[in-house]
Amino acid sequence: MQTTKTQRCFGGDLHVLTHESPACGGPMELTAFVPPGDGPFPVVYYLSGLTCTAHNFTQKAGAYRVAAELGLIVVAPDTSPRGAGYPGEDDDWDFGTGAGFYVDATREPWSARYRMATYVTEELPALVDAALPTRGPRARAIMGHSMGGHGALVHGLRSPDAWRSISALSPICAPSQVPWGHKAFGGYLGDDRQAWAEYDATELVRRAPHPAKILIDQGTADSFLVEQLRPELFAAACEQSGQALELRMQEGYDHSYFFIATFIEDHLRHHAAHLG
């Protein structure tokens, strides 16, 4: 990875990094905050939502004061490949560029480059461990917002040995049952509903719970709550499977980064407790 910019922040360093990605077939950008000290440090991966780049969380969430205090590296990757040139890639805000949905696409032409599942779970952690003072594969946590909350829940549940803890803010909890998921899964994965289930947190948690309690914050004034997010479906599946879940419905909060900034400290402390 190449560092394109570094800024001092709360005694640590915030890096903007780029690299060529085999999984995504081209250049990818991410940010990584490294706290003060010599390390090694545990890592929290933050997956952003629809339309976001690697910089939305970095500039708006207000996460780094607490990350510096807790001794956490915080990594924020991009949400999709960029500039693949596929027909329709830039037509809609909820599909294509900025909307990779953290799946490995199987439908052409998307399958050649839209492989965000492999990127987030395999390629990126290996690069981060090689470049930064991390504690390695046994000291990783995953969290995200909206589409990224979907990604965090899915990959945390799919690989519980790889992620010590999971949390989400306003996640898409049951994508197989909502319009955003229908559009993304149909476009990237085709009509095979079994393939959809492999990227649906509500389906996955029924099969096997994660050993750690999952933390979810959801605003009651979120305009996407009823149609797109559906946390009640995930909560019901958790109850059926015995998954420990703390679902906090936050009165009056919406889907914005004001909401994220309000509760980001709680999420980082949640992960620090599991990461030691």
Please pick, among 21, 80, 146, 167, the residue that the annotation labels catalytic.
Answer: 146
Determine whether 266 is an active site residue.
no
Please pick, among 255, 267, 270, 271, the residue that the annotation labels catalytic.
Answer: 255
Determine whether 19 is an active site residue.
no
Please pick, among 222, 267, 270, 271, the residue that the annotation labels catalytic.
Answer: 222
Handedness of CA 112, 117, 120, 126 (dihedral sign): negative
Determine whether 146 is an active site residue.
yes
Catalytic positions are: 146, 222, 255
